[in-house]
Amino acid sequence: MKTRAVIAAVLLLLVTLSVSCRSSVVEESITENSTEEELITVGFSQLGAESDWRSTNTESMLSALSKENGYNLIYKNGQQKQSNQITAIRMFIQQEVDYIVLAPATETGWDTVLNEAKEAGIPVILVDRRVDTTDKTLYSCWVGSDFELEGQKMATWIHDYTTMIGVAPEDIHIVNIQGSIGSTAQIGRSKGLSEAVKEYGWDLLDEVSGDFTETKGREVMADLLQKYDNINIVYCENDNEAIGAIDALEAAGKVVGPDINNGEIMVVSFDGINIKALEYAKIGKISCIAECNPLHGPRVQALIEAIEAGETPDKFNYVSETLFSSVSGITSIEVEGKTYTITPVE
Ligand code: GZL
């Protein structure tokens, strides 16, 4: 009997000590890092690091959601896999972050995990690409580009330019090196092109994903050159793909430029972040770049601060963007009654 009592007493002592240690550790962590408590803790699930646009976007987010600005940021790179992003969001929920910021790789498959965040009472802010869900209460707001408008602007520039140099619509033989299939950027930019193909009667030879990377852009372009001998316009859904495609075109002995009437192959692109792409635009190797602005950090910071102040931000917050080109003759374009001035590349 005595032995059992002793064991019970020892166990009780051990339990008491462990609880008091734990609470003293907890208190220390609160007192040690009392500023931690004042910081807004944000879990940021970035989709990957596939392009210059993405790296610039990540830098913008990290510098805005910094400790100096009052944030404790937990950053997770999803390596372009939705499963990694879902795991990260669940980790953020476990860590009881104050906000979740999600840059979704693709549009579908988010309802379950966003419902878990909603049930945990954690506001979700979407950045860059969109989430396709009927339940708009699963996120507080979104900030990013109008990708379909980007595609419409580029298609309008192609139409205006080819009309100006006298290329008949049926003589336009275009290939689309698409972005990551199912991403909002790819969906919008491809839609902008396909609607123009239908409206103007262009010959859309093929659409193949280059996954927004230079390597894949190069591979896809080389394959397309094997398949078709009449390509005269290459529509690349981001700069990194365009750089790879130009490598492949020049390796095949093609001349890249806007002079379609004299056998050049015209390349157009999206983003306007990659230095080399902007250099190419300056010399006309890339005839036109539709800007896609990656600097969402301050915009997300402003949305969080609005929510913190008890405001309800707009659900959808679009950034305004231009077209870059050094090709002469087209100074502005019009899409749905709105005029967009072309920004020369100097
Ligand atoms: C667009 C973004 C796209 C960029 C690509 O907002 O989602 O993903 O255009 C990037 O460069 O990889």
| 73, part of any domain | yes
Please check whether residues 33 and 56 belong to one and the same domain: yes
Q: Which two tokens stand for residue 330?
A: 């087209």
Per-residue burial over 100-138, b if 16 or more Cβ lie within 10 Å, else e, is bbbbbbbbebbeebbeebeeeebbbbbbbbbbebeeeeb
Report whether residue 243 contacts ligand 1, using a CB cutoff of 6 Å: no
Instruction: Look up the pTM and report it.
Output: 0.88
Do residues 34 and 133 both lie within one domain?
Answer: yes
- Among 139, 159, 182, residue at a domain's last position: 139
Whether 247 is in a domain gets the answer: yes
| Ligand 1 centroid from CA 53, angstroms | 6
* pLDDT (mean) for 113-135: 97
Rounded percentage of the chain residues whose pLDDT exceeds 70: 89
Q: Mean pLDDT throughout 271-284?
A: 96
In a domain, 175, yes or no: yes
So what's the pLDDT on residue 36?
Answer: 63
Let me know if residue 87 belongs to a domain: yes
The candidate with the shortest Cα–Cα distance to 121, out of 92, 155, 79, is 92
**CA of 33 relative to ligand 1 center, distance in Å:** 37
Q: Which residues of 149-182 are buried (b: 16+ CB within 10 A; e: fewer)?
A: bbbbbbbbbbbebbeeeebeeeebbbbbbbbbeb
Q: What is the CATH number of the domain that holds 103?
A: 3.40.50.2300
Does a structural domain hold residue 339? yes
Calculate how far, in angstroms, residue 220's C-alpha sits from the geometric centre of ligand 1. Answer: 18
What's the structural domain count of the chain?
2
> Comparing 229 with 7, which gets the higher pLDDT?
229
**Do 157 and 283 belong together in one domain?**
yes
Q: What pLDDT shows up at residue 38?
A: 87
User: From ligand 1's centre to the CA of 110, what distance in Å?
Assistant: 19
**Domain membership of residue 115 as a residue range:** 25-139
Of 139, 156, 171, the one marking the end of a domain is 139
Q: Are residues 87 and 131 in the same domain?
A: yes
Task: Note the pLDDT of residue 26.
Answer: 29
- Is there a single domain that holds both residue 160 and residue 287? yes
| Distance from C-alpha of 294 to C-alpha of 15, rounded to nearest angstrom | 53
Inter-residue contact 286 to 157 (CB < 8 Å) = no
Residue 274 CB–ligand 1 contact under 6 Å: no
Cα 52 to averaged position of ligand 1 atoms, centre (Å): 9
Both 274 and 248 in one domain: the answer is yes
Q: What is the mean pLDDT of residues 333-344?
A: 96
Same domain, 158 and 238: yes
Q: What is the pLDDT of residue 346?
A: 81
Specify if 297 maps to a domain: no
CA distance 296 to 195: 29
Mean pLDDT of 256-279: 97
By alpha-carbon position, which residue is closest to atom 6 of ligand 1? Answer: 128
Regarding the beta carbon of 187 and ligand 1, being less than 6 Å apart is answered no
DSSP, collapsed to helix, strand or coil, labels residue 243 as: helix
* 119, 139, 159 - which closes a domain: 139
| CA 272/CA 202 separation, integer angstroms | 25
Q: If we measure between CA atoms, which residue out of 156, 169, 178, 189 comes closest to residue 260?
A: 169
**Pair (284, 154) in one structural domain:** yes
Entry field: residues in the chain? 346
Does 158 lie in the same domain as 95? no
